[in-house]
Amino acid sequence: MWSIPKPAIIGAAVIAAGAAWYGKSVAQESAAKGVGVVTVFDHAKLGASFTRALANGGTAPLWSHTSGDVTSNVSVHSRDEARSVCPSQGCSHKGYMAVVIVTSGAATLVVGGTGKAAASDRFGGQLVQGGQSHRISQGDVFIMPPDTFHWYRDVAAPFRYIEVPVP
């Protein structure tokens, strides 16, 4: 059986403690320089988030961070069926601009206008009278100003997108 001298064990413990302290110091120094922790959502995690969104009525949180009094929430949306669409009065982003990245499917985005038609399409999207229509699909990015009502119609499922709020 090997016999390790007590000074060697103490020395190894001191080296381990020093390495841990050094690692913590480097992390604090990096954070002070503006190098933060990177959060990665691989395709499997993103897919699971979209599945949760569909089960939750169309929306699910992806990431949240609070700094001081401000909380930032990135969410995923899956508009695959009528129960997972904007409410009948339309969607809007109260007090923030939304950067939207379409990851799959397609839809007609209708923005603005003076009012809605009485009927909706089969996915629940309301038809806006006088609004601007834009066909959006996978790979498209759009920026929605704060408090702007909008609707999705003619949805080609699975219509999925990531919404990033910008104050």
Euclidean distance between CA atoms 75 and 89, whole angstroms: 21
Range of 66-75, 114-123, 131-140 with top mean pLDDT:
131-140
Query: What CA–CA distance (Å, rounded) separates 137 from 155?
Result: 10
Predicted confidence at residue 72, as pLDDT, reads 85
pLDDT digits (tens, 9 = 90+) for 25-55: 545 555 556 667 888 999 999 999 999 998 8
Is the separation of the CB atoms in 125 and 151 below 8 Å? yes
40-44, 95-99, 114-118: segment of lowest average pLDDT: 114-118
Residues 55-96 pLDDT 10s: 888 899 999 988 888 888 899 999 876 556 666 556 788 888
Tokens of 83: 């129960």
Confidence of residue 1 (pLDDT cuts 50, 70, 90): very low
What pLDDT is stored for residue 57 in this prediction?
Answer: 84
Mean pLDDT check: name the lowest of 10-19, 59-68, 111-120, 135-144: 10-19
Amino acid found at 17: A
Give this prediction's pTM.
0.69
Q: How confident is the model at residue 136 (pLDDT cuts 50, 70, 90)?
A: very high
